[in-house]
Amino acid sequence: MAISTRGRYGVRALLAIVKANGPLSTAHISKLEDISLPYLEQIFNKLKRAGIVRAKRGAQGGYLLSRSADTISVGEIIGILDGPVKFSQCHHPDHEEECEKRDICASRRFWSDLENDVNSKLHKTSLQDLKNIETGLIEKVQAHDGETNLLRS
């Protein structure tokens, strides 16, 4: 229903793989991202069954993305790990008890719109986008460090 640590851990773990550019074991990711190892394995289990990720077993093995980073969205990852993002129930098609005020309910309309906004952003942002954001942030920090160095000298 909501976005929980499981989903966020998953995003961070996959982003770590993107940055690593090669198979990365759960043990490594656990250290890099400071996430409990068994919990991480549970997460990758789901990601694998969903086809997001491939496992390479044995020594020097680990997980790799099964698709390119720009085709995997944050929304897809969250959907797999936390389920669909819902702010309300009554506007979903699978909601059996049809409300007779359906078409004239402002609350329903409001939550439905909000949910669409969030899902849209979630699905528009890919792992590749996150990687790009990260390199941007790093450059910014380095530039700032350069400035302070100038001031110090």
Partner DNA sequence: GGCAATCTTGACAGAGTCGCTAAGGATTGT
Partner DNA sequence: ACAATCCTTAGCGACTCTGTCAAGATTGCC
Can you give the binding site for DNA, defined by CB under 7 A? 1-2, 4-6, 9, 23-27, 35-39, 41-42, 44-45, 48-49, 55-63, 82
Residue pair 25/64 in contact by the 8 Å Cβ criterion: no
Nearest-5° angle of CA 40, CA 35, CA 119? 70
42-81 footprint of a copy of itself as x/- string (CB under 8 A) = --------------------------------x-------
Stretch that binds a copy of itself, among 44-52, 53-61, 62-70, 127-135 (CB under 8 A): 127-135
Beta carbons within 10 angstroms of residue 51's beta carbon? 10
DSSP letter at 104 equals: G
For the CB of residue 112, give the shortest distance to a copy of itself in the complex, in Å. Answer: 11
Return the closest-CA partner of residue 128 out of 48, 68, 55: 68
Q: Tell which one of 59, 60, 103, 149 touches a copy of itself (CB under 8 A).
A: 103
Give Cβ neighbours of residue 7 (< 8 Å, ≥ 6 apart). 77, 78, 81, 82
Q: Name the residues that contact a copy of itself, by CB under 8 A.
A: 1-3, 8, 11-12, 15, 74, 87-88, 103-107, 109-111, 114, 117-118, 121-122, 125, 130-131, 133-134, 137-138, 141
